[in-house]
């Protein structure tokens, strides 16, 4: 990224996860600034920045904060979604590992702005190392007076609690996350009421992603206008992308929104490995529609441009596929994930995901029929918009896009009666 990084600028420093290093480069000065402002002014600054949720939905952050009732007889809560269960997505864990204090400071600023006194960080249960680092950072913040009672000599009190999830992908959905923290089955709730009004323990609740909250201190430090100078008019700021597949330099990158996809692939990621030809890319995590190599040309990495291409920015989990990748095998594998992760609460998702998986497995094992493809598409399209949470849509979008764009490959697989003999990629 040509401009100064927002989220990754400290990550190269030795001991970047520690409070001493964080403070040495200006850490917690944004919190001091926020505490000297009226809470409404903090919300207004985040609104002006155009910061949108980086967990996948892209909802304006400041607007979400403003939905919480200013006067409430019940305590308000902040939930940080650090579950990160989307296949192909591994960017939030880098913040937890290398810069946890930026998340803590962002949560404190958000809590001050909304009138929250207790925040929960809901972490994917498998993130053992990240949880240890995060808890160590929280302990440091308590010891230094950034957490607890009378923060920085003010009347502001705030506590943070790390809550380990139990491995359910659906708990990345905000109401399922809330249920899980409460000790209930991790299933989504009907909305309304929305969490901003009735959320955790029945109180008004804000749910934000790790990357979203980690950007807040920079916005308070530099101002909304500085953040708007990054990105595009409607997609402001920077974004983390986690890149996997046959590229020379896989990993996590911070780029300015609006950056051309192929420039990112060829410059930052070093291009594809020698002798490899691009077949397709999932841009925003496994739940978004796939782009063919031809569709990748001219695509830009921002919300609006990718929507015009028929896909979404999502969580920023970029998966690259080479020529020769067995799309039948890969889609079957994805379908297995979503069918397994369905909580079973909604009939279209529970039954539809299982049906699609069985059909795809039948095709992959060499027992498919050509009309299976239309049956899969019919069932997939009947799942969309008919469930409490978007998990059904998260399965429908890749299924429909893969079969539509690579239908000849699926048909050839059926006609030839292949039995899982394709090349193993991904």
Which CATH number fits the domain that encloses residue 378? Answer: 1.20.1440.230
**CATH assignment at residue 168:** 3.40.50.11540
Residue range 30-44: average pLDDT?
Answer: 98
Of 165, 200, 228, the position where a domain reaches its end is 228
65 and 131 in a single domain? The answer is: yes
Buried b (16+ CB within 10 A) or exposed e, 309-331: bebbbbbbbbbbbbeebbbbbbb
Whether residue 305 is found in the same domain as residue 352: no
Q: pLDDT at residue 372 above 60?
A: yes
* β-bridge partners, 60: 52
339 within domain boundaries: yes
What's residue 418's pLDDT? 66
In eight-state DSSP terms, residue 81 is: E
The tokens of 145 are what? 């007076």
In terms of residues, how long is the chain?
Answer: 426
202, 314: one domain:
no
Let me know whether 104 and 201 are in one domain.
yes
Among 244, 163, 168, 269, smallest CA distance to 207 is for: 163
Same domain membership, residue 247 and residue 134: no
Q: What is the pLDDT of residue 419?
A: 63
Q: Give the whole-angstrom CA distance, residue 408 versus residue 419.
A: 17
Alpha helices (H) in 60-127, listed in sequence order: 61-66, 92-98, 100-114
Q: Does residue 309 have a pLDDT over 50? A: yes
Reported as a single tens digit per residue, the pLDDT across 202-255 is: 999 999 999 999 999 999 999 999 999 999 999 999 999 999 999 999 999 999
How many C-beta atoms lie closer than 10 Å to residue 410's C-beta?
23
Q: Is residue 116 situated within a structural domain? A: yes
Q: Are residues 72 and 92 in the same domain?
A: yes
Let me know whether 177 and 265 are in one domain: no
Statement to judge: residues 87 and 158 lie in one domain: yes
Compute the distance between CA of residue 228 and CA of residue 237 in angstroms, rounded to an integer.
6
Instruction: Report the phi/psi class of residue 172: left, alpha or beta, with left for phi > 0 and alpha for psi in -120 to 50.
Output: alpha
- Asked if the structure places residue 2 within a domain, the reply is no
- Mean pLDDT over 357-385 rounds to 95
Q: Give residue 16's pLDDT.
A: 97
* Beta-bridge partners for 256: 238
The per-residue pLDDT of the chain, averaged, comes to 95
Distances (CA, A) of 90 to 110, 120, 180, 341: 24, 20, 22, 18
Whether residues 211 and 250 share a domain: the answer is: no
Q: Say which CATH number the domain at 307 has.
A: 3.10.20.600
Whether 166 and 150 map to the same domain: the answer is yes
* Cα-Cα end-to-end distance for the chain: 27
Handedness of CA 142, 148, 150, 152 (dihedral sign): positive
Any domain includes 113: yes
Whether 25 and 163 share a structural domain: yes
Place of tokens 């930026």: 102
Range of the domain at 274: 238-322
Please give the Cα distance from 26 to 272 (Å, whole number): 38
CB 50 within 8 A of CB 228: yes
Which of 168, 194, 228 terminates a domain? The answer is: 228
DSSP H or E run through 206: strand 205-209
Q: Which of 228, 253, 285 is the last residue of a domain?
A: 228
Token pair 């996948």 is found at: 56
Could you tell me which residues come within 8 angstroms of residue 260 by beta carbon, excluding any fewer than 6 positions away?
Answer: 298, 299, 300, 301
Q: How many domains does the chain have?
A: 3
**Percentage of the chain lying above the pLDDT 90 cut:** 93
Residue 11 lies in a domain: no
Give domain status of residue 268, yes or no: yes
Percent of the chain at pLDDT exceeding 70: 98
Residue 9 lies in a domain: no
Tell whether 281 and 403 lie within a shared domain: no
Q: Phi and psi of 402, rounded to 5°?
A: -65, -50
- Which structure tokens are listed for 217? 């201190």
> Is position 421 within any domain?
no
Starting at the edge strand that comes first in sequence, how are the strands of the sheet with 291-292 ordered?
A: 251-256, 238-244, 317-322, 278-282, 291-292
Q: How confident is the model at residue 426 (pLDDT cuts 50, 70, 90)?
A: very low
């Amino acid at each position: 990224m040509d401009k100064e990084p927002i989220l990754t600028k400290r990550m190269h420093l030795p001991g970047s996860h520690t409070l001493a290093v964080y403070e040495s480069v200006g850490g917690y000065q944004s919190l001091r600034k926020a505490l000297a402002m009226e809470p409404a002014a903090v919300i207004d600054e985040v609104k002006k920045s155009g910061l949108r949720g980086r967990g996948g939905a892209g909802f304006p952050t400041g607007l979400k904060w403003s939905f919480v009732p200013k006067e409430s007889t019940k305590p308000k809560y902040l939930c940080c979604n650090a579950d990160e269960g989307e296949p192909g997505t591994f960017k939030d864990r880098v913040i937890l590992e290398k810069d946890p204090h930026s998340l803590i400071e962002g949560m404190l600023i958000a809590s001050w702005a909304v009138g929250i006194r207790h925040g929960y960080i809901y972490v994917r249960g498998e993130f053992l190392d990240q949880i240890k680092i995060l808890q160590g950072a929280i302990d440091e913040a308590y010891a230094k007076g950034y957490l607890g009672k009378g923060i920085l000599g003010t009347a502001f009190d705030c506590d943070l609690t790390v809550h380990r999830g139990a491995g359910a992908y659906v708990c990345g959905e905000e109401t399922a996350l809330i249920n899980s923290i409460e000790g209930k089955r991790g299933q989504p709730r009907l909305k309304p009421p929305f969490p901003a009004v009735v959320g955790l323990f029945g109180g008004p609740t804000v749910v934000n992603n790790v990357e979203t909250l980690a950007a807040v201190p920079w916005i308070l430090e530099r101002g909304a206008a500085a953040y708007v100078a990054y990105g595009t008019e409607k997609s402001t700021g920077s974004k983390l992308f986690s890149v996997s597949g046959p590229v020379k330099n896989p990993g996590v990158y911070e780029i300015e929104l609006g950056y051309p996809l192929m420039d990112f692939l060829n410059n930052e990621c070093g291009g594809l490995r020698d002798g490899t030809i691009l077949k397709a890319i999932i841009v925003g995590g496994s739940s978004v529609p796939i782009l063919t190599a031809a569709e990748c040309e001219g695509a830009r990495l921002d919300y609006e441009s990718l929507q015009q291409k028929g896909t979404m920015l999502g969580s920023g989990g970029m998966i690259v596929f080479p020529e020769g990748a067995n799309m039948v095998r890969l889609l079957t594998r994805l379908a297995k994930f979503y069918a397994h992760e369905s909580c079973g609460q909604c009939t279209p998702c529970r039954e539809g995901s299982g049906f699609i998986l069985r059909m795809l497995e039948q095709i992959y094992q060499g027992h498919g029929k050509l009309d299976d493809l239309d049956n899969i598409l019919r069932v997939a399209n009947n799942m969309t918009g008919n469930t409490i949470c978007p998990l059904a849509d998260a399965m429908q979008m890749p299924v429909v896009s893969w079969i539509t764009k690579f239908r000849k490959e699926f048909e050839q697989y059926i006609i030839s009666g292949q039995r899982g003999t394709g090349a193993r990629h991904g």
